[in-house]
Structure 1
Amino acid sequence: MPARVKETPAPPRPPAVSREVLRPALEFCLDVHAHPELSGAELRTADRFAARLEASGCTVTRGVGGGHGVVGVLRNGEGPTVMIRAELDALPVTERTGLAYASTVPGVMHACGHDLHLAAAGGAVAELARTRSAWRGTVLVVGQPAEETLCGARAMLADGLYERFGTPDAVLAQHTSPAPAGTLAHAADFRTPLLAASTALDVTLYGRGGHAGTPHLTVDPVLAAAATVMRLQSVVSRETSPAEHAVLTVGSIHAGERGNVIPDTAELSLCIRALSDPVVDRMAAAAERVVRAESAASGCVREPDLTVTSRSPALLPDPAATAAVRGAHEALFGPDRVTDCGPLTATEDFAWFGGQGVATVYWMLGVTGVGPWRAARAGGPPVPANHAPEFAPDLRTALPTGITAMASAARRILDGEGNGR
């Protein structure tokens, strides 16, 4: 008789999210996606999120951090404290998804999944409130403003987040990624950061404006800016080791209003990312040197202005807490749906919440539906990634996965496993 082939058992499916939890979470997600707000202007989003937390029995405080920060507290006896964090802000991107619930705000879009993060966090809290008999402790829920500008986390901490609401044992966050919906990915190597450190700079170059027909009577800041953009690429290509994960991007350039007028100034916005703070510092110093040198080479009428607009450290998730949460995820979803994630040059201000006994756990949440994923694998259009105008998470799969992933992670920390204190 031929040998029998042992069948590989199908990975266990996560428990279904109850209708009383999933439906409000989905309605919230669709509403927030249709009404996005930029960093620092998240008033409506904050109010909606606060209302969701209040509906789950949280004591809610608004305006934490001097802006629109929201903190909900759900107490359930003595035990550990876990913090769930999600972001309120959207991006200055014009949506091209064609979704029925697409953005109604011109030029603004939830192109990074923050609407899904909020909906999953609110759903997880609703699930924890519904199953109080299964855990003990305190759940903090933070709706953080201004993540995209990398200043919201520090503002909330400076406003006494931990002093006012309690220092958590662990802080949890998840982030959408263009991986298949229904999958999760955790840090693969705790010797290397999961997310990069970064800094962002605004630059103004000062020329002397005039008529486009008499350029010899001007100092053209547009030409200086163009030369600066090109030269800045050498900071990575010729001044940074190929072994480093490093990126320098000029994401914005603006000068003048009409083609027949040479303007007085040109403005650049750039960001620098690397997996360590020393490399970011070295690249920032090199970038400043290039800007000043190109300004001088172009004969600009005064020194350029350089302003650091944000800074965030690299994110190195806590090994013990991550192992505990990953174990919970693998038990629910099966090891085939929980994968490794290498270092990414994406950046976050989430890392500021960790340290001094507070463990951080951060994982990626796949959001790409089966159809787009298979089409891309077959040579079709690539899957739209975060920040793209076509970014459209498959909510049918990604939202219940995100709710279950966050609720199970919080319960694992509340069980006393892997916390940082």
Structure 2
Amino acid sequence: MIDEITRPDLATAIEAGVERAYEEVQTLYRQLHQHPELPFQEHATAAHLGAALEALGYAVTRGVGGTGVVALLHNGEGPTVMLRSDMDALPIEEQTGLDFASRAIGENADGECVPVMHACGHDLHSSCLVGAAAVLAELRASWQGTLMLVCQPAEEVFGGARAMLDDGLYTRFARPDIVLGQHNMPALAGSVGHLSGQAMAAATTLGVTIHGAGGHGSMPAQTVDPVVIAAHVVTRLQTIVSREVPPDQTVVVTVGKLHAGTQGNIIPHSAELEINVRGFDNHLHERVLASIRRIVGAECEAGRSPRAPEFRVLSETIALNNDAEGTERVRRAHADHFGAARLFAMPRLNGSEDFPYFGNAEAGGFGGPDIPCVYWYIGATAEARWHATPGASVAEKMTHLEMPHSPYYAPGQEATLRTGMAALVTGALAYMVRV
């Protein structure tokens, strides 16, 4: 079936469709970029995307999992292929200097006014999805099955995938046979990267409260100092990776926040920590979290803490494991369409996504067997900048380039938009093209 995608007439039709869609997709991208919205606040973004997909003939449902959008196009018997994009932005003040740069201000979960920017390219992802939807709608005579397009909210807080699944994504609409997604990266614009197996890390951020008994700094014997306990916790946590994790495994434990007290002569009543954990094996990840709880509890007991520490899961997601067979199938489709010279081997990323919930039946809470997932990467660095950047490999050059979440990150190159559309189209057709 995949060989059919190499037919010259279909390849030409895909490129012609991308060309016809490009101007509107670029306009949509700039509109979304200039008006970003924070997680679970993507009301205007969802309205724009829903209207665009509805105009293409898709059956659109809004408000799934809060602000999510689901669009279906049925085209006879065949597999259900899900294409996923994300929509939310970040509390970052944009410094790109683009003429369509964001000046938006939003209200975060704490009620604070913050600048908002699409610093991770979710505006690009959603725009490419709409463009792919247009091309695939034009090519209905060439494929069969059901297209399921998902515009997901709140990826940045790892909340949107589960929210949509909990809202009946697979029971109200369809259970896909394959889930496909993509993300922009600072690789050469127009290139596409693939990685089978462990591709992105599981991530958990724990909030921890250590209780003490505060008092005057001149009378420490009459207190229980939570700062001292917290200091021992920070030091002891470093032994998890060095002494409890097998040397061939990659795990990161970071104490990114430690807050206690108000001034130097006051021993506070409590200390607050935020601990971030990342790793590529979900079972090992759970063991590391258990070790953190054990160490914090033991240090609190050793330090005479008057009560047990409190733990809160602030955010979490599981590791992304790209299906081996599906990754190879999509890679071949991309190679056939773009040419092997435009593909690269994507290095494993310690960054994280909530995309894998769509495929993991247990973690996603939808039951039954797991659903294979394939997640690839599209380059977003202009050609001149790429060639001027030191390094021989993609990984080496990336160390010199702005990454997603930088206020200077600007992935919306023309080649990136065009490639993002065509990559989604050819990925879907790898499963749906008529024989």
Class of the TM-score when normalised by the shorter of the 2 chains: 0.7 to 0.9
Structure 2 CA distance for partners of 1:283 and 1:38, relative to 1, 3 Å? same
* Deviation of the 1:232 alpha carbon: 2.4
2:151 is aligned with what amino acid?
Answer: G
Match of 1:82 in 2: 81
Match of 2:109 in 1: none
* Deviation of the 1:318 alpha carbon: 2.2
Match of 1:377 in 2: 390
Match of 2:199 in 1: 194
Q: Distance in 1 between matches of 2:120 and 2:236?
A: 30
Match of 2:376 in 1: 363
* Deviation of the 1:288 alpha carbon: 1.3
Secondary structure of 2:100's partner? coil
Q: Select the residue among 203, 208, 231 that pairs with 2:208.
A: 203
The alignment's TM-score, normalised by the length of structure 2, stands at: 0.83
1:338 is aligned with what amino acid?
Answer: L
| CA deviation vs aligned residue, 1:295-319 (integer Å, no higher than 9, x gap) | 3455444322112244433222223
Instruction: Determine if contact 2:18/2:418 at 8 Å carries over to the other structure.
Output: no
* Deviation of the 1:116 alpha carbon: 1.2
Residue 151 (structure 1) aligned with residue 159 (structure 2): yes
What does residue range 22-171 of structure 1 map to in structure 2 within 5 Å?
22-65=22-65, 67-103=66-102, 104-105=104-105, 106-171=114-179
* Deviation of the 1:18 alpha carbon: 4.1
Secondary structure of 1:316's partner? strand
Instruction: Determine if contact 2:142/2:434 at 8 Å carries over to the other structure.
Output: no
Match of 1:395 in 2: 413
1:360 is aligned with what amino acid?
Answer: C
Q: Distance in 2 between matches of 1:291 and 1:139?
A: 48
Match of 1:7 in 2: none
Match of 2:426 in 1: 408
Q: Distance in 2 between matches of 1:26 and 1:263?
A: 54
* Deviation of the 1:212 alpha carbon: 7.1
Match of 1:5 in 2: none
* Deviation of the 1:30 alpha carbon: 1.9
Q: Judging by fraction of residues, say which structure has more helix.
A: 2
Secondary structure of 2:321's partner? coil
* Deviation of the 1:330 alpha carbon: 0.4
Instruction: Determine if contact 2:18/2:422 at 8 Å carries over to the other structure.
Output: no
Moved more, 224-233 or 120-129: 224-233
The alignment's TM-score, normalised by the length of structure 1, stands at: 0.85
1:405 is aligned with what amino acid?
Answer: A
Instruction: Determine if contact 1:212/1:262 at 8 Å carries over to the other structure.
Output: yes
Match of 1:181 in 2: 189
Secondary structure of 2:335's partner? helix
* Deviation of the 1:354 alpha carbon: 1.8
Q: Distance in 1 between matches of 2:434 and 2:216?
A: 70
Secondary structure of 1:386's partner? coil
Q: Distance in 2 between matches of 1:370 and 1:119?
A: 21
Match of 1:333 in 2: 338
Match of 1:269 in 2: 274
* Deviation of the 1:334 alpha carbon: 0.9
* Deviation of the 1:178 alpha carbon: 1.8
* Deviation of the 1:347 alpha carbon: 2.0
| CA deviation vs aligned residue, 1:367-392 (integer Å, no higher than 9, x gap) | 12224333431799820112223222
Instruction: Determine if contact 2:124/2:412 at 8 Å carries over to the other structure.
Output: no
2:338 is aligned with what amino acid?
Answer: F
Q: Select the residue among 346, 360, 364 that pairs with 2:351.
A: 346
Structure 2 CA distance for partners of 1:221 and 1:34, relative to 1, 3 Å? farther
CA RMSD of aligned residues (A): 2.9
Q: Distance in 1 between matches of 2:412 and 2:94?
A: 16
Q: Distance in 1 between matches of 2:307 and 2:370?
A: 48
Instruction: Determine if contact 1:82/1:169 at 8 Å carries over to the other structure.
Output: yes
Secondary structure of 1:37's partner? coil
Structure 2 CA distance for partners of 1:299 and 1:354, relative to 1, 3 Å? same
Moved more, 316-325 or 171-180: 316-325
Q: Distance in 2 between matches of 1:226 and 1:16?
A: 61
Q: Distance in 1 between matches of 2:128 and 2:429?
A: 15
Structure 2 CA distance for partners of 1:34 and 1:169, relative to 1, 3 Å? same
Q: Distance in 1 between matches of 2:49 and 2:434?
A: 28
* Deviation of the 1:358 alpha carbon: 2.9
1:185 is aligned with what amino acid?
Answer: G
Q: Distance in 1 between matches of 2:266 and 2:227?
A: 11
Moved more, 213-222 or 358-367: 213-222
1:88 is aligned with what amino acid?
Answer: M
2:277 is aligned with what amino acid?
Answer: I
Structure 2 CA distance for partners of 1:218 and 1:121, relative to 1, 3 Å? farther
Moved more, 219-228 or 21-30: 219-228
Q: Select the residue among 308, 312, 321 that pairs with 2:326.
A: 321
Secondary structure of 2:350's partner? strand
* Deviation of the 1:126 alpha carbon: 1.4
Q: Distance in 1 between matches of 2:270 and 2:434?
A: 57
Instruction: Determine if contact 1:88/1:145 at 8 Å carries over to the other structure.
Output: yes
